[in-house]
Structure 1
Amino acid sequence: MPVLFLFFFLSLSTISAQQRTYCNPVNIDYGYTPFERFSQEGKHRATADPVIVNLRDTLYLFSTNQEGYWYSADMLDWTFVYRKFLLDDKYTHDLNAPAAWVMNDSLYVYGSTWELDFPIWKSGNPTRDDWEIAVDTLNVGAWDPAFHYDEDQDNLYLYWGSSNEFPLLGTEIQTHNLQTTGITRPIMKLHPEDHGWERFGEYNDNVFLAPFVEGAWVTKHNGKYYFQYAAPGTEFSGYADGVLVSENPLGGFRYQAHNPFSYKPGGFARGAGHGATFRDAHGNYWHVSTIFISVKNNFERRLGIWPAGFDADDVMYCNTAFGDYPTYLPEFAEGKDFTAGLFAGWMLLNYNKPVQVSSTLGGFHANNAVDEDIRTYWSAATGDAGEWLQTDLGESSTIHAIQINYADQDAEFMGKTLGKKHQYVIYGSDDGREWKIVVDKRHNQTDVPHDYVELSQPVRFRYLKLENHAMPTGKFAISGFRVFGKGAGERPGPVENFVVLRAPRDKDGNRLASWMKWKNHPEADGYNIYFGKDPAKLYGSIMVYGTNSYYFTGMDKADAYYFQIEAFNENGISERTEVIRVD
């Protein structure tokens, strides 16, 4: 097959100067699980429970078992700093569900423990490995800890807990010695009998196991404390964050009507629980949280970042609509309405389109690379240079960005690895015979498991081919070769016959579910369902592919709900339907 080396060469420096968007999952060099018992189905990358904090307009990202952390000035390019915070050889892992907070122009870090031998670390210069022990032990064991420093009051609070039996707890920490005052208060427990989204199970339908509550985080806004928590379990697509509100940092918290506030049960990358809310250099709010995969192990996970904030009525929200499509970066988000989302408008061009490959390993079929499910993947028979995957867009289309999501097949690594790299080339063609280079990363020296490339200038092609040149480990395996841009056809018309039927009361009097159905649109790839408890605050969203119905089990039992739906394909998004009220 002849190849015309007419270089649309995109050097990394050119891309960096042009980029305006990012795409979830966050593209960082995730470490591999350090636990043999979690690797029975294969060694794999894994992290979760993220926290991002802002120190002097630089963002610092910590997450579970990474033996270090990342920092970024723009939320796109993340630099890893290797650092083992747990120095005792008895620990296989490094920090679990770490806490990080900024106080008096320094960054502090602490990890999960029920013991009293973990230090709190402190750094005034965390862009390099420059840390000191602030205190060698904390006089309360805290699993899933979160610290909130109240600048207005010069007070520090600690929140913690992860249990399907006990509540999340809170205490005040003295700033002069970083020890608790000795008074611990229960903050909250779940109420799955009232809140459908808090019930255990993939479809919130497991009545035999109690749900887990964890992932405490507090954000202060307009004199009120917004206590965030995760439920019902990290291994489910409905893993979400809720929020309670109080004027008191250690009590009196009320359930916010608009919950869950961070929720993403559909789309390519699903799950938006156990996270943290932070502000960028421009003052905008974002929420970082956990994306589930849970194929090789329940704790196989990634990270996502979503626009967030507070509306005019001080309702806390997080917008995950099109949350795994190209999204504007902070520099280009100024002046935009975060409640309406920051989606760049580039559609997915190759959903379920024809695929050809160089080889296939077992049942890891080629179409898995374009089915919009991070849990499924295609694997080549080898990890050798020259293995390739080709996608047909169906017609010549305008391409703005490409995301390559690698999967772990026959990986050999355990724990954190350094100095690894992915190398590849992406070719474009109009006829499938003559090819031009679109992206050349044959000399890339970085580990990019979810590489996202925004082209400095859009290109037009019908076919794209991804060719492997080097893998860090294992087979050449792809869970999502995702092409974004503008198709040449028409966007779908509005959805017709949208019906929402709320389930009758169960034996306990609950009405926690509803069934939705609509007329299938022949030109639609998928649908976005929007919901909320106010027609002007439809902050919840559910992305649905390949069906014209959805069973929604995340409702609160006593409240009326409002719903809208829109259709989308590679050419654009339809108008939304009229809002439907369901009592």
Structure 2
Amino acid sequence: MKHIIKTSSWGLALISLYFLLTCTFAEAQTTYCNPMDIDYKYNFEQLNENISYRSGADPVIINHKNEYFLFVTISGGYWHSKDMLHWKYLTANRWPFEDMCAPAAVSVRDTLFLFQSTFESRPILYSVAPEKGIWEFYNRWTPRLPKDIGPWDPALFHDADTDKWYMYWGSSNVYPIFGSELDYSKRLAFKGQYQAMFWLNQYEHGWERFGPNHSDPFKPFTEGAWMTKHKGKYYLQYGAPGTEYNVYANGTYVGNSPLGPFTYAPYNPVSYKPGGFATGAGHGNTFQDNYGNYWNTGTTWIGLNWGMERRIVMHPAGFDKDGQMFANTRFGDFPHKMPSKTWSGKGDELFTGWMLLSYKKPVTASSTLDSNAAAKITDENPRTFWAAKQNKPGETLTIDLQTEQDIKAIQINYTDYKSNIFDNKPEKVYTQFKILTSKDGQNWELASDLSTEPKRDRPCAYIELAKPVRARYVRYEHIYAASPILAISEYRIFGNGTGTAPQTPKTFTAARQKDARNADLKWEKVPGATGYNVLWGIAQDKLYQTYQFWNDEPDTFELRALNVGVPYFFAIEAFNENGVSKMSEVVSVK
């Protein structure tokens, strides 16, 4: 303080200008990138196995009085945001004593309600000032249900048109999704008997089959109930077939009343992202932002330290003119604009057009521990990683883009490799680094410096540059990470090359198998392409599903996500560092 007091007027002016520029830079962010850039917490589910890792799953984002609140499994608190770009972690005066899995939350008038997954009697909390972390007991317990029934993975729903309350729940490969009306006059106790809403049916719904790319005959799991009312229809959302696979998705049943009967939507799943870096989109919720746009949140799979190691994603969503629910996962882990108005169509306008520049590009590291080579940071696989010999300032990773390109954003994804951290103390758990760029690999310019920002943990740090930088080399320079070993799974660079977008694949075929849940896809590779998006849906103008492939992968694929008795339409597009081709002609399969 004494030093500040004695600083000259000129010095004070410089300090004021610095903080003004820092704040302006932070406020200038207009884009986001999945996985979400929040300070994921070290997870204690496997504490007895002495496994330390950061994780976040089963998200619920609530728009409460035009501000946003994010609740995540086992995080010791929750997040608050005014713009869905900058999230502040909050702790509460009251919190479920054992922390909470897959929480339920709902905003009703001036009050935010919160309830944890449980097999025992537990209280519902409420807050009229959640931005301050102030919570009180709405009731002291909910009635206990029979063994194994729940309510685990609950969802609270208030029907504003009738002023009635409901709860939905279920997390099992044996039991269905359940539902029950709640009695508001009795502090939201169960009203009458709970009812089965629906079971999974992997014999007719290909995407509900378990395993990677739905390849495992093991009985699948359903969980993550959520209710959305839209134009008088009730959309009961659920997650399947398992959180630890790339095909984790959200589906929906549709009914005319909150407790059904419900009809399976033929266009399922509604949110599905099996390809790319952040795979999986299941078990989340659907909400509207301040402009009326819909969003669908979900859980993406990491699965390196433990099968349940995960992160959070959110995708533009909506309902088309025919009432079909969808979520847009096309380029779903590339930078997207945060909207400042109502979007049209399926939200493609939110995609920035910033392409991935770093895929399989050469990397040089200052040091390497064991076989964790630097090349693994550009393979778009969160389960491979580079590790430095020491976690010390000055360790570097330098990517050679091979030509000068316009760099617009960076994402650094850290890995918890042999971590020994079992607390989340902010004075210890934070990340800092610099990003430098160069045209010749000799002369470097600073593009971003996280040491000038308030300290916080950023396991999936996303940096939108204030303006594009033309460069060939992009360097990560390490400053601090709490883990004993510095490890990074993916160093992703986004922007635009100076060449042309690839041509549309000339041939693309889709053939349904005898098992109608499957279709064989084949396309002709395009020179200069980095990858392809296969798009499909139940009508030519409803190609809401996307499966992303890389050009160095095979040009054939068995898609195992279809519904029996539903005709489909398919198309393909190619992309590279310069842009995206036109979509191919649509082909139909019966």
Report the TM-score when normalising by structure 2: 0.93
Residues 326-363 of structure 1 deviation map (CA, whole Å, 9 limit, x = unaligned): 111132x5344334352111111111111100111122
Asked whether the equivalents of residues 357 and 388 of structure 1 are also in contact (C-alpha less than 8 Å), the reply is yes
C-alpha deviation, 1:396, in angstroms: 0.8
> Map of 1:107-506 to 2, 5 A cutoff?
107-116=112-121, 118-140=122-144, 141-176=150-185, 177-207=187-217, 209-331=218-340, 334-340=342-348, 342-414=350-422, 416-419=424-427, 420-444=429-453, 445-505=455-515
Which shows bigger deviation, 340-349 or 97-106?
A: 340-349
* Offset from partner CA, 1:63-99 (integer Å, 9 cap, x none): 10001000111111001101375554xx3xx111000
Q: Does 1:515 align with 2:520?
A: yes
Does 1:553 find its partner at 2:563? no
SS in 2 for 1:124: strand
How far residue 281 of structure 1 moved from its aligned partner, in angstroms, is 1.1
Higher mean C-alpha displacement, 494-503 vs 295-304: 494-503
Shifted more, 450-459 versus 268-277: the winner is 450-459
CA distance in 2, matches of 1:453, 1:321: 21
CA displacement at 1:472 relative to structure 2: 2.0
Q: Classify the secondary structure of the residue corresponding to 2:315.
A: strand
Out of 93, 101, 116, the residue aligned to residue 106 of structure 2 is 101
Alpha-carbon distance in 2 for matches of 1:456, 1:262? 32
Distance (Å, rounded) in 1 between the aligned partners of 2:211 and 2:87: 34
Quote the residue 1:566 is aligned against. Answer: 573
CA deviations on 1:37-83 (whole Å, 9 max, x unpaired) are 5756x421112111011111101000100010001111110011013
Pick which of 378-387 and 61-70 moved more.
Answer: 378-387
Partner of 1:53: 62
1:210-231 deviation digits (Å, cap 9, x = unpaired): 1001100000000110000011
Amino acid at match of 2:193: I
Q: Is the 8 A contact 1:66 1:415 kept in 2?
A: no
Structure 2: distance between partners of 1:556 and 1:50 = 27
Task: Identify which range, 198-207 or 11-20, moves more after superposition.
Answer: 11-20
1:16 to partner: Cα distance: 2.4
Deviation at 1:9, TM superposition (A): 12
Letter in 2 for 1:119: P
Q: From the superposition, tell whether residues 415 and 46 of structure 1 become closer, same or farther in structure 2 (CA, over 3 Å).
A: farther
Report the CA distance shift for 1:39/1:485 in structure 2 as closer, same or farther (over 3 A).
farther
Shift in CA distance, 261/21, structure 1 to aligned 2, threshold 3 Å: same
Q: 1:569 to 1:48 in 2, by over 3 A?
A: same
For 2:382, give the aligned amino acid.
I
Structure 2 CA distance for partners of 1:239 and 1:12, relative to 1, 3 Å: farther
Give the partner amino acid of 2:383.
Answer: R
Shift of 1:549: 2.3
Q: Which runs of 5+ in 2 are unaligned?
A: 1-17, 145-149
State, as a whole percentage, how many aligned pairs show the same letter.
42
CA 1:10–1:360: 2 relative to 1, 3 Å: farther
Supply the distance in 2 between the matched residues of 1:406 and 1:120 (Cα, whole angstroms).
Answer: 35
Counterpart residue number, 1:578: 585
**Which amino acid counterpart does residue 333 of structure 2 have in structure 1?**
D
Distance 1:87 1:98 in 2: 10
Match of 1:17 in 2: 27
Indicate the larger mover: 534-543 or 398-407. Answer: 398-407
Letter in 2 for 1:471: A
Asked if 2 retains the 8 angstrom alpha-carbon contact of 1:311 and 1:339, the reply is no
Q: Deviations over 1:291-320 (max 9, x none)?
A: 011121111000001000111111111001
Contact 1:336 1:342 in 2 (8 A): no
Query: How far, CA to CA, are the matches of 1:580 and 1:38 in structure 2?
Result: 53
- Looking at structure 1, the residues matched to 378 and 74 of structure 2 have their Cα atoms a distance apart, in angstroms, of 30
Counterparts of 1:450 and 1:482 in 2: how far apart (Å)?
Answer: 10
Give the superposition deviation at 1:189.
Answer: 0.4
Residue 487 of structure 1: CA displacement? 0.1
Unmatched segments (≥5 aa) in structure 1:
1-7, 506-510
**After superposition, what is the alpha-carbon deviation per residue over 1:190-241, rounded to whole angstroms, capped at 9, x for unaligned?**
010000000111121222x210011000000001100000110010100000
Q: Tell me by how many angstroms 1:426 deviates.
A: 0.8
Instruction: Name which of 41, 45, 50 aligns with 1:31.
Output: 41
Deviations 1:338-395 (A, max 9, x none): 3435211111111111110011112221111111122221111121111110001111
Which moved further from structure 2: 30-39 or 151-160?
30-39
Contact 1:307/1:341 (<8 A) preserved = no
Q: Would the alpha carbon gap of residues 9 and 263 (structure 1) be closer, same or farther in structure 2, given more than 3 Å must change?
A: farther
| 1:43–1:410 Cα contact (<8 Å) kept | yes
Aligned pair count reads 563
Q: Deviations over 1:151-187 (max 9, x none)?
A: 1110110001111011110000112321111221110
Distance 1:293 1:341 in 2: 28
Judging changes above 3 Å, is the alpha-carbon distance between structure 1 residues 403 and 12 closer, same or farther for their aligned structure 2 residues? farther
Alpha-carbon distance in 2 for matches of 1:526, 1:10: 41
CA distance in 2, matches of 1:373, 1:342: 25
- Quote the offset at 1:575 in angstroms: 0.7
**Alignment check: 8 A CA contact 1:500 1:514 kept:** yes
2:354–2:408: 8 Å Cα contact kept in structure 1?
Answer: yes
Post-superposition offset of 1:501: 2.2
Residues of 2 paired with 1:11 and 1:372: CA distance? 34
Equivalent-residue separation in structure 1 for 2:163 and 2:72 (angstroms): 26
Asked whether the 8 Å contact 1:321–1:341 carries over to 2, the reply is no
For residue 121 of structure 1, what is the amino acid of its counterpart?
L
Q: Compute the displacement of 1:11 (Å).
A: 5.4
Q: Which amino acid letter does the alignment assign opposite residue 401 of structure 2?
A: L
Residue 452 of structure 2 aligns to a residue whose secondary structure is: coil
Change (3 A) 1:307 1:10: farther
SS of match in other structure, 1:271: coil
> Aligned-pair distance for 1:557?
1.9
Q: CA deviation at 1:442?
A: 2.3
Greater helix share, structure number:
2
8 A Cα contact 2:213 2:274, kept in partner: no
Aligned to 2:412, the other structure's residue is in SS state strand
* Aligned AA (2:119): W
Report the alpha carbon displacement of residue 415 of structure 1 after superposing the two structures with TM: 5.1
The aligned amino acid for 1:365 is A
Q: Give the letter for the 1:57 counterpart.
A: N
